[in-house]
């Protein structure tokens, strides 16, 4: 499922796919309103703007690891991890080299991004949001 915004110049297009849900959102780089969840233009901010569930028990302030994601494509267009994020990632289960915190991994240029929200990291109770996958069946 792709949620497209029309008339986006190709050189300004940001396309983010959230796995395993397979939901893709598109927007023009630099136009996403900041939703106060994580850093501006972070994957958590994108998810909140498009109502994609990404757990963030601490409110997106880099105080937990519940928004742990794995960047499958587009790492070159994302900010470098800073020390506070790396410290929190140490607490995340099943950490891999492509692991980031959704609240801290900021999209810094247009491009195509694929991120995986680990299935074990989906706490659908914390934020009170419904299980999206169940609704689609």
The pLDDT tens digits for 60-112 are 999 999 999 999 999 999 999 999 999 999 888 889 999 999 999 999 999 99
In this prediction, residue 36 has a pLDDT band, given cuts at 50, 70 and 90, of confident
Q: pLDDT: is 130 or 50 the higher one?
A: 50
Torsion of CA 93, 107, 132, 97, to 10 degrees: -20
Half-sphere exposure at residue 29, Cβ-oriented, CA atoms within 13 angstroms: 17
Whether the full predicted model's pTM is greater than 0.95, yes or no, is no
b/e string for 93-108 if b means 16 or more Cβ within 10 A? eeeeeebbbbbbbbbe
131 band by pLDDT with thresholds 50, 70 and 90? very low
Averaged confidence pLDDT in the chain: 86
Centroid of chain to Cα 122: 13
List Cα–Cα distances, 124 to 19, 93, 127, in angstroms.
Answer: 16, 17, 7
The CATH class of 2-121 is alpha beta
CA distance 115 to 72: 5
Q: List Cα–Cα distances, 62 to 18, 109, 133, in angstroms.
A: 20, 22, 26
pLDDT, residue 124, reads 45
- The region, left, alpha or beta by phi > 0 then psi within -120 to 50, assigned to residue 96 is beta
pLDDT value of residue 133: 46
Poorest-confidence range of 15-19, 63-67, 122-126?
A: 122-126
């Amino acid at each position: 499922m792709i949620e497209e915004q029309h008339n986006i110049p190709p050189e300004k297009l940001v396309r983010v796919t959230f796995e395993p849900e397979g939901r893709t959102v598109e927007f023009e780089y630099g136009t996403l309103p900041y939703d106060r969840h994580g850093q501006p233009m972070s994957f958590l901010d994108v998810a909140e703007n498009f109502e994609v569930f990404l757990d963030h028990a601490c409110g997106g302030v880099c105080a937990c690891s519940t928004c742990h994601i794995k960047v499958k494509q587009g790492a070159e267009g994302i900010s470098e991890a800073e020390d506070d994020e790396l410290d929190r990632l140490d607490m995340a289960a099943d950490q891999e080299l492509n692991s980031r915190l959704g609240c801290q991994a900021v999209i810094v240029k247009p491009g195509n991004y694929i991120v995986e929200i680990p299935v074990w990291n989906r706490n659908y109770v914390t934020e009170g949001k419904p299980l999206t996958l169940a609704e689609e069946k």
